[in-house]
Amino acid sequence: MRQVITVKDVETLIKNGTDISAIPADAIITPAAQDLLSELGRMTARSTTSALQPSAQTENPSGHVSNNSGMDIESLFNSPENAHRKEQICEVGRRMWARDYLDGNGGNISIRVDRNLVLCTPTRISKGFMKPADLCMVDLDGNRKAGEKKPTSEILMHLEIMKAQPRAVACVHCHPPYATAFAASGVQPPNKILPEFELFVGEVPIAGYETPGTIEIARKVASHSSDHSTILMANHGVVAWSDVSVEDAYLKIEILEAYCRTIAITSQLGAPPNRFTSGQMKELLNIKQTMGVHDPRIGKDISEIALQDDAQWRPGVICASPPDPKCQCQSKKAPVAKDRDESTEELIQQITDLIMQRVIEPS
């Protein structure tokens, strides 16, 4: 099994005075660790066959684009490291297709292979039947650098997220039905209900609608990426990014979709769900902090964490008792059908008048 080198590993090597060249040539080095190695100016000590060198790209006399390690882009694209990444992308595509998260040729997946290079799915292909040979590679500006097929039309969104989040190593986008239903209705999934959702996903914002594939939607989604790694896209779907792996990004979507399905069922039961107390929520956020998962709510006054409006996702239903004072649902109870009440009153009056008339009138 290939060794994975993280920033912590590099720091430990330096601390122990170990030469960086001791890192196995076939080790997988995380982007953050690559940055650190690069800063240390020791990358040159490593094998030039590594696919993970920083990539200020230049064009050599033969016309082949290469990164600043001198490695040919085509060789990098076909390296064993990227063969493995391509398999990972195809596997995530198959899993999403098998779970109905994708329709037609929808959805797209990317993995950052270098500071400025990204492997991605091509346009117009079912992600359930993709092969490694179908994939392509682009730079952070979206220019195709390798691969036979045209990159996904939604690549700009992946790239804007990666530009905004240098830690991001992968992005996954798809249209899972339950999460997409929340996005289509403009309803944020309610919080304080299930622990796994709070721990691995947390609050999910909805990026406003823009035409798919445009820089506008890419920027809108990326603007939420600092505080959120799972983002709903209004009237479209969901995107998740990860600083760990493409599978990690996919799992966030799987957790969100399962949660939205549970919430959709909960909303039909006729009884309000119990919500976590501030103490229970604080415990979950403490665990999340220990796990090293970012959540903008960590460290905040728990009582200040807004509770999504129940009236929005369960029309006519109010919070569990006692209601959260922050929740607006109390003031948004299902409106009384005033018109109907008035007409009912009128009808009752008419019937009463008729009866009284018959009683009073001599037969």
What is the phi/psi pair of residue 333, to 5°?
Answer: -60, 155
Which CB sits closer to Zn ion, 129 or 347? Answer: 129
Which CB sits closer to Zn ion, 219 or 332? Answer: 219
Give the DSSP per-residue string, 196-230.
HHHHHT----EEPP--TTSHHHHHHHHTTTTT-SE
State which of positions 251-310 bind Zn ion (CB under 5 A). none
For residue 211, CA distances in Å to 177, 217, 233 come to 19, 7, 11
Q: Residue 11 in 3-state DSSP?
A: helix
User: Taking CB under 5 A as the rule, which mask of x and - marks residues 226-245 in contact with Zn ion?
Assistant: -----------x--------
Which CB sits closer to Zn ion, 202 or 237? Answer: 237
Q: CA 194, CA 261: separation in Å to the nearest integer?
A: 12
User: Taking CB under 5 A as the rule, which mask of x and - marks residues 119-158 in contact with Zn ion?
Assistant: ----------------------------------------
Catalytic (active site) residue 11: no
Q: Which residue is nearest to Zn ion (CB)?
A: 237
Residue from 162, 111, 115 nearest 135 by CA: 111
| 258 CB neighbour count, 10 Å cutoff | 17
Q: CA 232, CA 225: separation in Å to the nearest integer?
A: 11
For residue 74, the one-letter residue type is E
For residue 240, the minimal CB distance to Zn ion (Å) is 13
For residue 184, the minimal CB distance to Zn ion (Å) is 13
In angstroms, how far is the first alpha carbon of the chain from the final one?
103
Q: Dihedral, CA atoms, 258, 259, 265, 269, nearest 10 degrees?
A: 150
Element (H, E) at 231: strand 230-233
Which CB sits closer to Zn ion, 217 or 251? Answer: 217
For residue 94, the minimal CB distance to Zn ion (Å) is 18
Choice among 81, 154, 210, 257 that is catalytic: 154
For residue 61, the minimal CB distance to Zn ion (Å) is 41
Give the DSSP per-residue string, 42-79.
-GGGS-TT-TTS----EE-TTS-EE-TT--BHHHHHTS
Which CB sits closer to Zn ion, 92 or 319? Answer: 92
Q: CA 97, CA 240: separation in Å to the nearest integer?
A: 16
**Size of interface with Zn ion, in residues (CB under 5 A):** 1
Which CB sits closer to Zn ion, 93 or 237? Answer: 237
Q: CA 97, CA 105: separation in Å to the nearest integer?
A: 10
For residue 213, the minimal CB distance to Zn ion (Å) is 9
For residue 174, the minimal CB distance to Zn ion (Å) is 7
Q: What distance lies between CA 103 and its chain's CA centroid?
A: 18
b/e map 300-321, b = 16+ CB within 10 Å: eebeebebbbbbebbeebbbee
For residue 236, the minimal CB distance to Zn ion (Å) is 6
For residue 187, the minimal CB distance to Zn ion (Å) is 19
Residues marked active site are found at: 154
Query: Which residues form the interface with Zn ion (CB under 5 A)?
Result: 237
